[in-house]
A and B are shown apart, each in its own frame.
Chain A
Amino acid sequence: MARHHTADRDDRQRPPRGPLRTEDSAPTDPEEGTERGFAPAAGALPETLRGPASLLLALYLVGLGLCVAGNTASGTSLLLGTVKDRLFAPWMVPLWLDLGHDTRLTYGLPEDADHSLEIRPAGKGGGRTSAPLRFPAPGDHSERGSRWRRLAVAAVLAEEDAEQAGALPAAIGAGSFAAAGDDDLVIRVVRTMAPDYEAARSPGLSETALEVRVRRREGELQLIPIPPAEEVAPLFDPLPVSGGGN
C-alpha cells in the first residue's frame, strides 16, 4: 500500500501507531525507537485513549462549528441555536469558547465609528455646568481606550434590546457619582463619524448617539431619557424669509 501523506504534518516526524503503519513509519520495536533518540511509547497516545479522545475532538468540532454559525449577525437559525444552547453552551460558555470570531473590522456603519463617553453634572434642568469627564481621554489610542469605546458602543446598541435597554447607562451613571462629585449626571455617548471617502478631506462629524440623565434620589436610582435635540428644538430654516433681507 502506498504511503498516505497528509498535507499538514512533517513526514520526518514519527507517525502515530495506527492501522496504516508502514515499514517507514512509527517504530514498533522499543529498541528501534530508542535508536531514534526517544522512547517509542512515551510520546504516543495510548491506543485505549484514541477512541475517547477522537470522540471528544469530534464533539468539540461540532460545538465550534455551531458557535461560529450561531454567534454571527446571520446566525439566527432556531435549530442551530437550540442545539448549541442545549448541548454546547453549558460547557463552552464558561470557558469563553462560545465565540463567532466574526471580526468584521468595519462595515462603515455608524456603530463602527468611534464612540466615547461624556459624563457631566446635570445641574439645574440638566444644563451644562462644568467640564465633563471623558472616557477615553481624547487622543487615547491604547487598548484601555478601546475598552471604553466598546463600553460606549455597548450602551448604544443595548438600547435596541428590550431587556438590556437602560441598564448600562444607569450603571455608568451610578458608577460615576463619586468621580463626578454629584448624584445627578448626564451621560452622553458621542459618536464621531468619519467622512465619506468622497469627502475625505472633511473633518469627522460628532453627534450624540445616546443621552440620558441619571440621578439618585433617596437611595433610588432614576434614569431620565433625554430625547435627541432635533426632537425638541424648533427646526431652523437657514433660507431668508421671502421678501426679507436688503
Chain B
Amino acid sequence: MDHRASSSIGELAAVAAGTWDRFWFTPTDARRLAIVRGLAGLLGLVLAWSWARDLVAWFGPDGIVSPEVLGVWRSPTALSLFDLARSSAALWGLFLLGVVVLGMLAVGALTPIAAPLAALFWASLLHRGPMLVGPADDVLAVILWCLVIGRSGDAFSVDRRLAATDAKGRAPSWRNGLSLALLRLHASVIAAAAVVAQLKADVWWNGTAAWWLAARESTRIDLTGVFAGSEIATNLVTHSIVLFEVAFAAGVWNRWTRGPVARVGIVGWPLVGLVAGEPMWGAAMAILAWACLPDDGAPR
C-alpha cells in the first residue's frame, strides 16, 4: 500500500516536472519570437517619439522632472542611465543612442547586444520620468526583457542575412521557448490583473464604463454619439471588454482555445485600446497576443 502511494506520488511529481520542463524549456523555432522582436522594436520607436519632443523640457538641466522631484517620487532602488546626463546634449545623445538600439532591435541587427541594451534603455527612460509612464510603456518593458532571453535574431533579421546559412542558425532553441512562455505568462497575468482592477468599480458592472472612456476629450475615436443614443450599446461594449479580457487571460492556457483566443487578441486588443484611449497599450497587448499563438499559427 505504502509502496503504491509513494509510487503514485512519484508519478505525479514526474508528471509535474515533465509539464514544467515542456512548458518552459521546449526548444522552439525563432520565427514567432522574431516577429515579436520586430513589432516590439517598432512600438518602442513610436513610443520613444512621444518622449522626444519634450525631452529637454522634462529631463533637461532645468527640466520639470528635476532630481529633487525624482528624489521624492522614485523608489530608492530605481536606477536610470539618464541620471548621468547632466546637459541637454548628453541627454539627447543618450536618447538617440537608445533610439538607434530600438531600431537595431526592430531589424534584428546585432540582436544579442541590441536586445539587452534596448531593455536597459527603456527601463532607464521610464525611471527618469515615472509620472509620465503609461500602460503601454509598462508592457513594452516586459516584452523587451523577455526578448533578452530568446534568440530572436535567428530569423527575419539582418543578423540572419549576414550569417552563413548553417543549420545551427535555424535550429530550435530552449531560449526561444522560454522567452515565448514568459511572454504568454505575462499576457495572461496582465489581462487578468486588468480585469480584477476593473471589476472593483461600479461602472464596469453597470455597463457604463464604455461611456466614461468615450466621453473623455482625449479619446481617439468619438463614440459618444453611438453610446448616448443607446444604453444597450454602451453596456454591450463595456461587458464585451471584460469578457474579452477574461477569455484571453484564461484561454491562452488551454490547447484548444489558445489559438482562437490569441488570434482574437491580435485584433481585439487594439480595438480595446482605441475605445479606452490607450491605443499604444492595445498595440503592445496585441504583440503579446501574437506571442501566444500556437506554432501552427506562425508563418512558414
| Residues of A participating in the B interface, judged by any CB pair closer than 8 Å | 4-10, 12-16, 18-20, 37-39, 42-45, 50, 53-54, 57, 61, 64, 68, 72-74, 89-90, 93-109, 112-114, 141-151, 154, 163-164, 167-168, 171-172, 174-179, 192, 194-195, 197, 200-201, 204
Contacts and interface: CB of A to CB of B under 8 A. Distances in A.
A197 B211 contact: yes
Interface of B: 14-15, 17-28, 46-47, 49-51, 53-54, 57-58, 62-66, 68-69, 72-73, 75, 77-79, 119, 122-123, 126-127, 129, 131-136, 138, 141-142, 145, 167-168, 170-174, 178, 184-186, 189-190, 193-194, 196-198, 200-203, 208-209, 211-213, 215-220, 224, 227-228, 231, 234, 241, 252-256, 258, 276-278, 280-281, 294-296
Given A18-B17, A147-B54, 16 more contacts: A7-B253, A7-B254, A18-B21, A64-B186, A93-B75, A93-B77, A95-B119, A97-B142, A104-B198, A105-B198, A106-B276, A107-B212, A143-B47, A144-B54, A151-B132, A175-B66
Given A7-B255, A104-B198, A105-B213, A89 B75 contact: yes
Given A18-B21, A108-B201, A143-B280, A96 B27 contact: no
14 contacts: A10-B295, A39-B167, A73-B197, A89-B75, A96-B123, A97-B141, A97-B142, A98-B75, A106-B209, A147-B50, A149-B218, A168-B69, A175-B64, A200-B215
Nearest to A22: B18
Nearest to A61: B185
A206 B120 CA distance: 40
Contacts of B79: 94
B209 A43 contact: no
A151 B64 contact: yes
